[in-house]
Structure formats: C-alpha cells, structure tokens
Structure 1
Amino acid sequence: MKHNFLHKFAVFAFTLFISFNIFADDFRKTFVNPIYEGADPFVYKHTDGFYYFCQSEGDKGIAIWKSRKLTDKGVKRVVWKAPDTGWNTSEVWAPELHYLQGKWYIYYAADSGKNIDHRTGVLRSKTQDPQGEYEDMGVVYTGDEIETKKNNRWAIDATPLEMNGKLYLIWSGWKGYDDDIQSLYIAEMKNPWTAATNRVKMAENDTYVWERVSNDPQKKGLNEGAQILKNKDKIYVIYSCSGSWEPTYKLAQLSIKKGQDPMNPDNWKKKDKPVFQGTDEVYGTGHCCFTKSPDDTEDWMMYHSKISKRHGWQRNVRIEKFGWNPDGSPDFGKPTPPGTVLRKPSGEIMPELASHFTDSFSSGRWDNWVYYGYNRFIAVRSEKLVLGINPGWGIANNYRSGEKAVMRDMLWDDFVYYAKVKVVKGGRDAGLIFRVNHPAVGYDAMKGYFAGIIPQNNMAILGRMDGKNWQELARKKISLKQGENYHLKVMAKGEDIKFFVNNEKQIEVKDSDYSSGFAGVRVIDSEAEFDNIKIRKR
C-alpha cells in the first residue's frame, strides 16, 4: 500500500511539474499581435542572421532596426533625414532595404510637400553596415520617355525584382501627371538606381470589383505595395488593392513563370480572388512583406492593419506564419483575431530568468528595451528615458496606446525594482510594469501588473491586466505634483506585492495571477521621464 501510494504521488508530482513548466514556458514561446505600431512594414533577413526592419521616421526620415527576432524590432538607428529643400523634403513613404550587387540600397517615396510630386528615390550604403551612412543616388526615372528622361511620373512603393539574370523595379504609379489612378508598373534597370527602359503597366488595376476602392464598381481601381515571392517554377507578386485608408484594403496576386519576360504584360496572370483580406475583427490588411523564421524552416508574412473600421491611416503591424497551396502558390489563410496567442517563429531566442539589471541611459540610447507604442513616442533625452514624448521633428501622430517598454530578453519572478519617474505632461498614469506576459501594442495589451502614480488625482495605484482589461487591485491617496521626481519601488515575492513611493509603503496586496514575466515602464496619455532603473532578483 505504501509503495503504491508513493508511486501515485510521484506520478502526480511529475505530471504537475511538467504541466507547470509547460504553463510557465508558454508565454516565452508565444506572442500576441500587433507587435508594433506603424504602416508599410518591411523586413530583410540577411545572411548574417539579423533581421533589418526599415520604417519611415515621421514622414521626414528613415530608420533601420536590427534584431535577431521577428517579434522584436531590436535596436533602432535613424540612417537618413530628408533635406530642407528639394524634391524629397516631405512625405517619406514605405522605405525598403535590399542588399543588391554587394551594397545596401533603400528605395523610398517622397515629395516636395505635395503628393502630386511623389517620386521614388534611392539611397546607397557607404559601408557594409545597413545602419551606417548612406549616399543619395537621386530619383529613379519612372516615366515613358527614357531617352530624354522628361516628364517623370508619380511613383511609390518601389521594390526590386531579380529574374532571368536581370534586375527590374516594380512600383505603383499614375498613368498621367495628375490623374491619381494607381497601377503597378515595371522597368528593367541598368543598375539599382537607374532605369534602362520605359515603364510597362503590368496589369489593369480594376479587373475585379474587389480591387476598387470600397469594393464599389463605381469607384476607381487601386494597386500598390507590390512584394515578391518565389516558389518552384513561379514568381509571385503580392500587391495591395482597394484603399489603404479603408477596411477593404487587401492583398491580391500576379504570377509569372520563371524564364518568361516580365516586361510583357501578357505573361502576368492575375488571381481571380483576394489572397488575404480582413475579417469582422481585423480590418484593412495590406502592404505586406515576407521573410523566413530565424532557423529558415518557416515562411512568415508581415503586414499592417487598421485599428478601426473608420477611414484613416492609424495602423499597426502584425506577423503571421503562412504555407503553400498544392499548386505552389502561397496560402496566407486569414488574419488571426486580436489577442490570439501565436507560436513564435521557429528558432527565436527565448528570454531567461535574470538576476540583475541597471540602466541610467548615459549612452543616450534605449538599446536594452523593447518598445510597444507609436514609434516616435520614445526617446532618451538628458540621460532619461522618455515615453509619450513629441520628438520635435517630423510628424508625430496622435495614436496613443498606453506606451510601454520592457527590458529585452529578461524574465523576473521575485524581485526588488527601483526607478525614478517624473510626469512632465498629461498628469495621467506613469509607473512600473512587472511579471508581464504577451506584451503588444494597446492600452491593456499585456498580461501582468502595473504600479504607478497619477498626479492629477493624487493617487498611487496598483492593478493587473489580462491582455484586454484592466482590474484595479488597490489605490491610495497621496500628495503628488506634476513635474516632480518620485522614487518608485516594487517588491514582489510569491503572491506578496508591495509598492513604495519615496521609500514609503503605499500599497500591499496578495495576488497570484502572474508569477513571472518581463519588467518595464508604462505611461497612459502622458509624457514621463524614467531614470536610475534598477532591478534585482530576491
């Protein structure tokens, strides 16, 4: 009897141990969309094993981010700012980074302040570092008079195509100077920045009603955002159609057999239905790009979607794994609903339990942090990490989302966490997040705890989020003033959580919903400064 009992107990304990570890490891191996705020995403996976994300910087510059992961954009560097005068001072859209003929090239669209003047420009790297310096190679000719290069035409969303031993460029352009009818065009290139031929329209932009704005047969067709996929004996051009400002934005497909002439429109075959489109929960899915998982065993797509069905350009970025149909064409499936827990790309580095971390931001950078929010609402100024800040140059939109940043690849269970915080503007919440699982863009888009101050209400507050909702656990009235520094401390051991302000304990609770996770900082509709951040394992 005793032996049988011990055996059953051992089996139970082992099962419990395995179940606990599967549960404990689950959030380490999974993620939740959206992974960042923005539009027109582009990522390039290089042979060095790094991902390089390319993004417009406030419509006035271009930033390159470097990471080992798809779920984390990594370290940011602004590599180019638009000049004060000339054709490319404004509206810098949809930059793409490519490695061609031994150099890095950035293709981007810009204008002089008027959309009608949009053209495609090219930057070339001065070194082998994609986050280094670039030289301006000028404007690509995208018109119909290559001999004289007169009457250049509107062109955005350029992407290169290497095929049959030649280099081509595909872009979205207008037929005339000001007709605002967007179709996909292609030209052969002499080199990565110089067209060798006149453009050729690849296909009509309104073959099907679903290519038209609003899916309305009375409205214009619109094709843009072409991207290249190669599989077996075919090359696929996946493009966006309808209007980027609408929930009807979607992906469509052209294909051509390898060896055929891409300058002959008859060789391009259009699929008779969309290949990826929104649902009742995800809207305006478009402007995608493609890459591989870190171990090259999986295919992934990155795309943007709208944050609501209302017309406008507030968007965020998602990633999804995709497969292939029996005929070799891509199978993108359907966009997953918000909050869906997804498996991370195969081969991603897992975060681990840490023992200590400090950051005083003396380097002037925030390289140790993963940020979730509008990409221009984070900066380091005067050796302080600032969230919710207006960057002071370029365009800063009003997409507030409860901006948060977490320490990269570090997990914490029991700890003591210190930081100094000052709410500069807004008077709303600012403070510390901890035991965070599945952080994403959004006010309550994380699972874990928040302990902070609300100067406008003279309140210390502690609560938790479940990925969608906020639940307050405790609050206390204290004397606070906007613009003053406060020393915050959280002590957590098991279910015991204590929150201190200026070394005085304000709140103590017991809660066991989350036992480990990331740690970081967060603001709600405010601008706040953080510094002297320290955390150590208890």
Structure 2
Amino acid sequence: MKQKSFFKLAVSAFALCGALHLFAADYKQTFVNPIYEGADPFVYKHTDGFYYFCQSEGDKGIAVWKSPKLTDKGVKRVVWKAPDTGWNTSQVWAPELHYLQGKWYIYYAADSGKNIDHRTGVLRSKTQDQQGEYEDMGIVYTGDEIETKKNNRWAIDATPLQMNGKLYLIWSGWEGYDDDIQSLYIAEMKNPWTAATNRVKMAENDTYVWEKVSEKANQRGLNEAAQILRNEDKIYVIYSCSGSWEPTYKLAQLSIEKGQDPMNPENWKKKDEPVFQGTDEVYGTGHCCFTKSPDGTEDWMMYHSKISKRHGWQRNVRIEKFGWNPDGSPDFGKPTPEGTVLQKPSGEKLPESASHFTDSFSSGRWDNWVYYGYNRFIDVRSEKLVLGINPGWGIANNYRSGEKAVIRDMLWDDFVYYAKVKVVKGGRDAGLIFRVNHPAVGYDAMKGYFAGIIPQNNIAVLGKMDGENWKELARKEIPLKQGKDYHLKVMAKGENIEFFINNEKQIEVKDDDYSSGLAGVRVIDSEAEFDNIKIRRR
C-alpha cells in the first residue's frame, strides 16, 4: 500500500550517516523537519519561558500557540477572526506577536478581498494573556503624506524595530498605488500602532539579479518579510527576496551600526550575496524569524520552504540551528533535506515513558495532541477528534499530507491501545499509529507502525514506515462501511503486534524494527472521527 506523497524525503549519504548515528544514540533527543505545515512562521520567546507561535488561520483569522518547545507548537487558540465587512475581511497574512510598552501587539496584513488594497493592521491585547482577547487598533499609515494621512500605500510583513531609544516599523510596500514593486520601508512610530513620520525606502530592491523575480535581469526586484537580528554592535535585517511562489525565494541581509540613524538609507549596508537559499533538495527557503533554544545557549532560525519546484504557495515550516561568522554576521549554512535527523534545541523537554492515557475530548479541545498536517484539517466536534476535516471557514492553500496527531510527550513500548474510529468521508485509511519516532509533515514522514481500516476496499491493514516509505506487513479482507463506528485495539509486547476490530483479532505479526515511541492517530485522504482513546502499559 505505497502512499502517494508530496514529501519525498531525500537524504544525502553524509546526512544519512549522521542521522543513523543520532538515531542510534537516542531518538528522544532528535527531530526531523518539517515540523508543521504553513508559511510565514513567527515565534516569540517570552521571559515566562514559553514560545508563542503566531500564524494566519486560513487567511481569515489569527491563532496564537503556546509551547515550552520549539519542535512542538503546543496549545492553539484562535485570538481573532476577520470581520465580515471592512478593510480587513480577507487575505490575512504573516501575523507577528510582539511585547511592546507593557502590552502584546499583533501586526498583520489584510485586505477587503483585493490584493491591491493590502494594508497593515494592529491588534492590542486587552490583558497580559497572549492567547486572550485583542482589540483592533486600526490601520498603520504607510504612505508619504503623514500630515493628512492621505493616499495610504500597500503594506505587508510589518515588524517593529526598537533602536536608539525609539520605536520604528519596517514593512514591505509598493512605491505607488498599484505598481506591484515591493521594497522595504521604515518609519518612526509615535506608539505601536501610529506612525510618526513618512516612510523611507531602506534600500533598492534590485541591487543584485538574485533579488529579482526568477533571478532574471529583466524582471522586477522584490524584497519582503524583514526580521531583526542583533549581535555585538550591529543590527541585521534579514529579508526575503525573489518571488515567494518560486524555488528561487531566499534570504538576504541589510545591516546597520548601533547608534546610527535607521531613517537614513545610507546607513544600511546590503550584503552582496544571499545569506540563505535553497538547494537541489530544498526549495524556496524564506520568510524567517529568529529565537533562542529553551536554555538560551543556542540560536535558531525558523523559516518556510516550498514542497516542490512548481510555482505556488504550498509550503511547510522548518527550524535549524545557526552560528556566527568571525565578523559577527550570522552564518545560516545550508538547509538540511527533509527527514534529516537533527539534535533538538538545547534544554528542550524530552518525552517520557507513560503508564496510561485517556482522552474523550469532552473539553472540546485537542490540547494533548501534536498535529502534523495542514493546520485547518484538525478539530474537535461533538466530543470527537476529527482529522482531514474542512472546517468550513478560512481555507487557504489546503493540501493533503497524510494527517496525523500524536499524544504529547508520552512514550510507549509494550501496551494496549484502544480507540473508536469512523471514516466519515473519503473511504481511505484511518487508524492508530504507535511506536512512532521522528514524526513530521508528510504521508510517510514518521518511523513506526500503523494499524487501520480502509472501508472502500474492505481491508484491515498493519504496516510500518521508515520516514520515507510505507511497507505493508499484513492485511485482511473484512466487511467495512464508511460512516460506521469501529472499535480498534492494538496489543504490542516486544516483537509481537496484534490488531483487533470490534474485539475480534484480525492480524498478528512479529516485527522488531521499532520497540518504543509515541502513539497517535492517522488518516490518508479521508475525514475520520476518533473517540474514547485509551492506552495502558502492559
């Protein structure tokens, strides 16, 4: 039952040797990319020790996720939905969460349904809860007539810069009203939501051919998605260039000395080569942000990449550790291929062996689970966990990837695992995954076992994945119906694995490739409900 996959995990011989070494050492201390589906990632590490991930919710809202880890986005809360009318009803892009002047602020781009009308908006927290209520502070003026605030201009990817005791805002804007020529602009701010000056273009957007769309001399320059990175006596602005829909999307660098005026374009120095770009195996690496490891000893970058070389915006998110050059500038190296085993950020909490777990989803939330798939294809409805579901609002760039969810931070070796499963739509696979190592976004992007049902083929199946490929271990033909509840049970002890449906044993195999790991649920090109999940150690 080889699965069609958009995510072919290519690993070089060198990387594979390193991966095998790390895996042999301890899979609990390692992870693989991509860590989640999506684009335009942003994470803020607060003084409370938590990471706060901010992400567009289907282009129609904004979600904030809270986690003590970088490799796990944690618990999700939708903090804002776009209104039904007004300037910001649609195309909510690239939100960022920042703590400024004692409040939480979210900068985001949105429009009324036409890209030409994109503007930057600001939300302000009503409390100190990052996942609580926010109030709309309106549009930031990003034009050239600050006195009258007439003729506002297209603006996306806003990020604040605190420098020399002042607050500035940097964004990507169009020079005219409709010319679609994106450059980086900066303005001094009166407060986090009000511009105090006209905008200033920080640098030309086509100094080098590699900044241009398609890396062609006759194409326009395109600069966007600026992020601030500080080291020693310099401030670096790492920005994205070329087209976000292309495999040539990459990162570039401006820098300025501390104490200099950021409103003077002459003070910004552009590096003459990209600082991070794709390879033959990783495409369109851009729109990054930066943070520290949990213990503060390591520097990490989060960025998105395309899932293929085809033009388009289907992307996933990765994290990588980076270092510094002798001159103090960042050294991002090269992106590692999907499936490469990497050491987790220093100080990150590791999963532990568990004795028992239950979840009936009576809370209406899936807070105990880590999800790998398109971020809109998971929900809790009628006290059931639903994978592969269309939520009915705010879908953008949706694609199937073999959606799966694993129980957070709990490891199992010998166990009994129960769950009620119903395939609602699609008729394809739905079932249980166990002894899972290195889960990631992708059809076969995990190491471990799957036991499930395929109603359209009247098949019960048990197999395993190695991070790249599916291998069927056994199957049995039994009568199955889409829309009917089935009670699944897996019993594992050592190399012995037994799979039951409605208390009748269907499959028994011996396999010792994976002896311990996470447990969860999985669907393939289907919508399925999961309920009454119970696991106990044997």
Q: What is the TM-score when the length of structure 2 is the normalising length?
A: 0.96
- Structure 2 portions without partners, runs of 5+: 1-20
In the alignment, the residues of structure 1 paired with residue 25 and residue 359 of structure 2 have an alpha-carbon distance, to the nearest angstrom, of 27
Q: Deviations over 1:23-54 (max 9, x none)?
A: 67611000000000000000000000000000
In the alignment, the residues of structure 1 paired with residue 446 and residue 22 of structure 2 have an alpha-carbon distance, to the nearest angstrom, of 20
Corresponding residue of 2:479: 479
CA shift, 1:395, in A, is 1.7
Corresponding residue of 2:176: 176
After the TM superposition, which residues 51-62 of structure 1 pair with which residues of structure 2 at under 5 Å, given as runs?
51-62=51-62
**What letter corresponds to residue 101 of structure 1 in structure 2?**
Q
Corresponding residue of 2:316: 316
Identity %: 91
Give the SS at the match of 2:116.
helix
After the TM superposition, which residues 42-121 of structure 1 pair with which residues of structure 2 at under 5 Å, given as runs?
42-121=42-121
Residue 494 in structure 1 maps to residue 494 in structure 2: yes
CA shift, 1:396, in A, is 4.4
The root-mean-square deviation of aligned C-alpha atoms, in Å, is 1.1
Report if aligned partners of 2:496, 2:509 keep a CA contact under 8 Å in 1. Answer: yes
Corresponding residue of 1:14: none
Corresponding residue of 1:505: 505
CA shift, 1:67, in A, is 0.1
Corresponding residue of 1:514: 514
After the TM superposition, which residues 29-428 of structure 1 pair with which residues of structure 2 at under 5 Å, given as runs?
29-428=29-428
Give the SS at the match of 2:281.
coil
Report if aligned partners of 1:254, 1:271 keep a CA contact under 8 Å in 2. Answer: yes
**What letter corresponds to residue 340 of structure 1 in structure 2?**
T
In the alignment, the residues of structure 2 paired with residue 190 and residue 148 of structure 1 have an alpha-carbon distance, to the nearest angstrom, of 16
**What letter corresponds to residue 255 of structure 2 in structure 1?**
S
In the alignment, the residues of structure 2 paired with residue 299 and residue 452 of structure 1 have an alpha-carbon distance, to the nearest angstrom, of 41
Corresponding residue of 2:8: none
In the alignment, the residues of structure 2 paired with residue 380 and residue 24 of structure 1 have an alpha-carbon distance, to the nearest angstrom, of 37
CA shift, 1:125, in A, is 0.1
In the alignment, the residues of structure 2 paired with residue 132 and residue 115 of structure 1 have an alpha-carbon distance, to the nearest angstrom, of 29
In the alignment, the residues of structure 1 paired with residue 425 and residue 381 of structure 2 have an alpha-carbon distance, to the nearest angstrom, of 15
Deviates more, 1:180-189 or 1:25-34: 25-34
**What letter corresponds to residue 198 of structure 2 in structure 1?**
N
Give the SS at the match of 1:456.
helix
In the alignment, the residues of structure 2 paired with residue 120 and residue 537 of structure 1 have an alpha-carbon distance, to the nearest angstrom, of 52
**What letter corresponds to residue 132 of structure 1 in structure 2?**
G
In the alignment, the residues of structure 2 paired with residue 508 and residue 535 of structure 1 have an alpha-carbon distance, to the nearest angstrom, of 19
CA shift, 1:338, in A, is 1.2
In the alignment, the residues of structure 2 paired with residue 82 and residue 461 of structure 1 have an alpha-carbon distance, to the nearest angstrom, of 43
Report if aligned partners of 1:229, 1:237 keep a CA contact under 8 Å in 2. Answer: yes
In the alignment, the residues of structure 1 paired with residue 97 and residue 91 of structure 2 have an alpha-carbon distance, to the nearest angstrom, of 18
Greater relative contact order structure (CA < 8 Å, 6+ sep): 2
In the alignment, the residues of structure 1 paired with residue 152 and residue 213 of structure 2 have an alpha-carbon distance, to the nearest angstrom, of 26
In the alignment, the residues of structure 2 paired with residue 24 and residue 355 of structure 1 have an alpha-carbon distance, to the nearest angstrom, of 24
**What letter corresponds to residue 415 of structure 1 in structure 2?**
F
CA shift, 1:399, in A, is 1.1
CA separation of 1:523 and 1:511: change in aligned 2, threshold 3 A: same
Corresponding residue of 1:536: 536
Give the SS at the match of 1:116.
helix
Q: Deviations over 1:43-88 (max 9, x none)?
A: 0000000000000000000000000000000000000000000000
In the alignment, the residues of structure 1 paired with residue 325 and residue 391 of structure 2 have an alpha-carbon distance, to the nearest angstrom, of 45
Q: Deviations over 1:270-298 (max 9, x none)?
A: 00000000000000000000000000000
CA shift, 1:398, in A, is 3.4
Report if aligned partners of 1:248, 1:283 keep a CA contact under 8 Å in 2. Answer: yes
In the alignment, the residues of structure 1 paired with residue 22 and residue 33 of structure 2 have an alpha-carbon distance, to the nearest angstrom, of 21
CA separation of 1:250 and 1:505: change in aligned 2, threshold 3 A: same
**What letter corresponds to residue 359 of structure 1 in structure 2?**
D
Q: Deviations over 1:235-272 (max 9, x none)?
A: 00000000000000000000000000000000000000
In the alignment, the residues of structure 1 paired with residue 426 and residue 77 of structure 2 have an alpha-carbon distance, to the nearest angstrom, of 28
Corresponding residue of 1:3: none
In the alignment, the residues of structure 2 paired with residue 153 and residue 398 of structure 1 have an alpha-carbon distance, to the nearest angstrom, of 30
CA shift, 1:518, in A, is 0.1
Report if aligned partners of 2:22, 2:343 keep a CA contact under 8 Å in 1. Answer: no
Look at both structures and tell me which one has the larger radius of gyration over its CA atoms. Answer: 1
**What letter corresponds to residue 351 of structure 1 in structure 2?**
P
Give the SS at the match of 2:391.
coil
In the alignment, the residues of structure 2 paired with residue 215 and residue 272 of structure 1 have an alpha-carbon distance, to the nearest angstrom, of 14
Give the SS at the match of 2:218.
coil
Corresponding residue of 2:11: none
Report if aligned partners of 1:40, 1:288 keep a CA contact under 8 Å in 2. Answer: yes
In the alignment, the residues of structure 2 paired with residue 417 and residue 93 of structure 1 have an alpha-carbon distance, to the nearest angstrom, of 40
**What letter corresponds to residue 187 of structure 1 in structure 2?**
A
Q: What is the TM-score when the length of structure 1 is the normalising length?
A: 0.96
- Structure 1 portions without partners, runs of 5+: 1-20
In the alignment, the residues of structure 1 paired with residue 358 and residue 25 of structure 2 have an alpha-carbon distance, to the nearest angstrom, of 25
Q: Deviations over 1:332-384 (max 9, x none)?
A: 00000111000000000010000000000000000000000000000000000
Give the SS at the match of 2:462.
strand
CA shift, 1:397, in A, is 3.5
Corresponding residue of 2:466: 466
**What letter corresponds to residue 332 of structure 1 in structure 2?**
F
CA shift, 1:394, in A, is 1.0
In the alignment, the residues of structure 2 paired with residue 529 and residue 224 of structure 1 have an alpha-carbon distance, to the nearest angstrom, of 40
Q: Deviations over 1:170-224 (max 9, x none)?
A: 0000000000000000000000000000000000000000000010001000000
Report if aligned partners of 2:401, 2:443 keep a CA contact under 8 Å in 1. Answer: yes
CA separation of 1:25 and 1:383: change in aligned 2, threshold 3 A: farther
Report if aligned partners of 2:224, 2:241 keep a CA contact under 8 Å in 1. Answer: yes
Give the SS at the match of 1:210.
helix
In the alignment, the residues of structure 1 paired with residue 344 and residue 163 of structure 2 have an alpha-carbon distance, to the nearest angstrom, of 32
CA shift, 1:405, in A, is 0.2
Report if aligned partners of 1:390, 1:396 keep a CA contact under 8 Å in 2. Answer: no
CA separation of 1:358 and 1:24: change in aligned 2, threshold 3 A: farther
Give the SS at the match of 1:214.
helix
Give the SS at the match of 1:266.
helix
**What letter corresponds to residue 127 of structure 1 in structure 2?**
T
Give the SS at the match of 2:311.
coil
In the alignment, the residues of structure 2 paired with residue 213 and residue 29 of structure 1 have an alpha-carbon distance, to the nearest angstrom, of 40
Corresponding residue of 2:26: 26
**What letter corresponds to residue 291 of structure 1 in structure 2?**
T
**What letter corresponds to residue 244 of structure 2 in structure 1?**
S
Report if aligned partners of 1:250, 1:286 keep a CA contact under 8 Å in 2. Answer: yes
Report if aligned partners of 2:22, 2:341 keep a CA contact under 8 Å in 1. Answer: no
In the alignment, the residues of structure 1 paired with residue 196 and residue 533 of structure 2 have an alpha-carbon distance, to the nearest angstrom, of 55
Give the SS at the match of 2:113.
coil
Give the SS at the match of 1:398.
coil
Give the SS at the match of 1:465.
strand
In the alignment, the residues of structure 2 paired with residue 396 and residue 210 of structure 1 have an alpha-carbon distance, to the nearest angstrom, of 29
Give the SS at the match of 1:28.
helix
Q: Deviations over 1:298-341 (max 9, x none)?
A: 00000000000000000000000000000000000000011100
